[in-house]
Amino acid sequence: MVALNLFIRRWAHLPSPAAIFSALILISITQTAAAQTYQWRLAMSWPEGTPMLHNAAARFASNVEKMSAGRMQIIVDAPGRHKAPLGVFDMVRSGAYEMGHTTSYYYKGKDPATTFFTTTPFGMNPTEMNAWYYYGGGLELLNKVYSRHNIVAFPAGNTHIQMGGWFRKEIRSLQDLKGLKMRIPGHAGEVVGRAGMKPVSIPPGELYTALERGTIDAVEWVGPANDEKMGFQKIAPFYYTGWHEPGAELHVFINKDKFEALPEDLKAMIQIAAKEASFDMLSESFYRNVMAWEEMREKGDIQIRSFPKDVLDAFRKANDELLIQATEESPLVKEVIESQQTFLNKAKHWSKITDADYLQLR
């Protein structure tokens, strides 16, 4: 009896066998979850090998695999495989693809609020956009919109300030725009439509053929590095400076159900990889555009133009009217636009005495 009492006193502080068994099960589950591997597919909107855009998707996928030590592998599919460059939204929402790399303004028809997360004419530049996304509430609004469609979204690539497009003929006045068919998506497409043009949405892989065959009279794509690769300069010699996409943001879409089922560490890795891809693409875009423009400039066969004042005035007026109209049609669109404009109205004063004044004095 004495021996039994000593045994009880010595071991009484330990958990019960049931508690120990439960703890062992929990440890086993945790270790299994940590060891579980995932092979996901990502559908991108960009043709295979598209400068910067494809690079951003591939870099994102590679970084997730490296950070996870191989626990998550992401296979990147171009439109040549999935056949739907503008269908990424639906493929991710449905779970046909776990992920996508695309840009929000392609999906205005799905949800009018999505378009403003890419860029807005006369809106924020890349630095201002990043500040709004990561510290000004933009990321929360992005997912407030996309959660309604079973999608989680993160910024994952920025083009820097885009050029205003390639035109077959010089634009000397607003009248010269009347009836011109131009590939220009998103909110900017509506703007030029109000100014008398005919906006057309065409997948990236079909742009050169459309311009060459006269299906369109003008095309905007990205900037010198991407545009030279497309060969637009062979058809349309007038290259206009930008106004409509002062810092277009690309996005990673993730099926919400599948994202929420992931371990927390993999969720964090995806977010970090998306953010790194966004900042890296911005740097790569600037560098490659510098190099491509230097080569174009030396050849001397491209005529740089800026739109005349009456054209820009018409674009600005149409943009302001459309933004007001959009806020009246949807409370969520209103929340997004007002958030952006509130921040931009503050940021533009700082940008003026820093970026703008420095560039002028330099």
Bridge partners of 181?
198
Is residue 307 in a domain?
Answer: yes
Same domain, 241 and 254: no
Q: What pLDDT score does 31 carry?
A: 52
Selection from 187, 175, 214, 50 nearest residue 119 by Cα: 187
Q: What pLDDT score does 16 carry?
A: 54
Strand ranges across the sheet with 72-77: 72-77, 38-44, 99-102, 249-255, 151-158
Is residue 235 in a domain?
Answer: yes
Same domain, 327 and 261: no
Q: What pLDDT score does 229 carry?
A: 86
Q: What pLDDT score does 296 carry?
A: 87
pLDDT at 123 over 60: yes
Same domain, 196 and 87: no
pLDDT at 209 over 90: yes
CATH (domain of 101): 3.40.190.170
Same domain, 154 and 173: no
Ordered DSSP codes for 100-117: EEE-GGGGTTT-TTGGGG
Is residue 16 in a domain?
Answer: no
Strand ranges across the sheet with 238-240: 198-200, 181-183, 218-219, 165-167, 238-240, 303-305
Same domain, 38 and 74: yes
Same domain, 218 and 324: yes
Same domain, 279 and 174: no
The model's pLDDT over 41-88, given as tens digits with 9 standing for 90+, comes to 999 999 999 989 999 999 999 999 999 999 999 999 999 999 999 999
Same domain, 234 and 265: no
Instruction: Single out the residue in 230, 257, 287 at which a domain terminates.
Output: 287
Is residue 155 in a domain?
Answer: yes
Same domain, 43 and 171: no
- What is the percent of the chain where pLDDT is above 90? 84
Q: What mean pLDDT is reported for the chain? A: 91
Is residue 91 in a domain?
Answer: yes
CATH (domain of 232): 3.40.190.10
Burial class, 127, CB count within 10 angstroms (exposed 0-12 / middle 13-18 / buried 19+): middle
Same domain, 262 and 205: no
DSSP state of 321: H
Range 134-146 average pLDDT? 98
Q: Please count the structural domains in the chain.
A: 2
Q: Which domain holds residue 190?
A: 165-245+301-334
Same domain, 182 and 214: yes
Is residue 4 in a domain?
Answer: no
The model's pLDDT over 241-291, given as tens digits with 9 standing for 90+, comes to 999 999 999 999 999 999 999 999 999 999 999 999 999 999 999 999 999
pLDDT at 156 over 90: yes
Q: What pLDDT score does 297 carry?
A: 85
Is residue 358 in a domain?
Answer: no
Same domain, 121 and 238: no
The model's pLDDT over 20-47, given as tens digits with 9 standing for 90+, comes to 444 444 444 455 555 799 999 999 999 9
Q: How far apart are CA 111 and CA 155, in angstroms?
A: 18
Q: What pLDDT score does 7 carry?
A: 38
